[in-house]
Amino acid sequence: MRRIRLTVAYDGTDYCGWQVQPNGITVEEVLNKAVSKLTGEDIHVIGASRTDSGVHALGNVAVFDTRSSIPPERMAYALNQRLPEDIVIVKSEEVPAEWHPRYRDDITKTYEYHIYNARVPDPLKRRTCAFVSFPMDIEKMRAGAAYLVGEHDFVSFCNVRTNVEDTVRTVNRIAIWQDGAEIVMEIEGNGFLYNMVRIIAGTLIRVGRGFYEPEKVKEILETKKRTEAGITAPPQGLVLKEIRYGE
């Protein structure tokens, strides 16, 4: 038995998120079927990040166990012949049998949130950007984001249905830049709570529009109340860019 690690990219628009569920098709479900058909086994992949409905990825990670004799590095090519065009295996490789993509202390995740900031929407950006028609102040957004860097209790920035005991996370850095009409927020950390990146994005959008002063972000952290933060920004702007491991 061998354990194979996949690096997976996908356009999440037409999927009900990563995790298998009864009410719609998911990325995990499609992967399970493709890998099972390829190996002739009943395969259930284990994913590193359970992205929400409509959220995209360039570097999600999943593993599965197989007795197949297909060379590990060739599995990416073989699977891409069986997957729809909106799911791509970027890389496949063998890892130790005990290697797990989630239960580790050496994970670093990087997300990007994309905002199309113009007077009218761009129909070509509708699947990959949130649309904001009002002017945004990038410098104020950066000043507000600075309060989130470091180890904090992010309970104000997670969905009220988050089912975890510990809401303390470490954000290593947040970078915000503009490329034409597109504003990109990149956030890197050791882990993220349910909807955390989208709520941070929604809060910083309010800072950029002038509804909040940058110092308000610090106050939101300290209140530990979800109701103080901004809205949960739309899912189509979010991309899981990369997951790195200490090895």
Binding-site positions for substrate read: 111
Name the residue among 32, 44, 126 with its Cα closest to residue 83.
32
Distance CA 192, CA 102 (A): 12
Q: Has 42 been annotated as catalytic?
A: no
Distance CA 170, CA 152 (A): 6
Angstrom CA distances, 128 to 39, 51, 133, 162, 180, stand at 33, 15, 16, 25, 15
Distance CA 140, CA 186 (A): 16
Q: Which of 52, 86, 122, 179 is catalytic?
A: 52
Parallel, antiparallel, or unpaired for β 56-66 and 87-95? unpaired
List residues forming the annotated binding site. 111
Tokens of 192: 């993220």
Residues catalogued as catalytic: 52
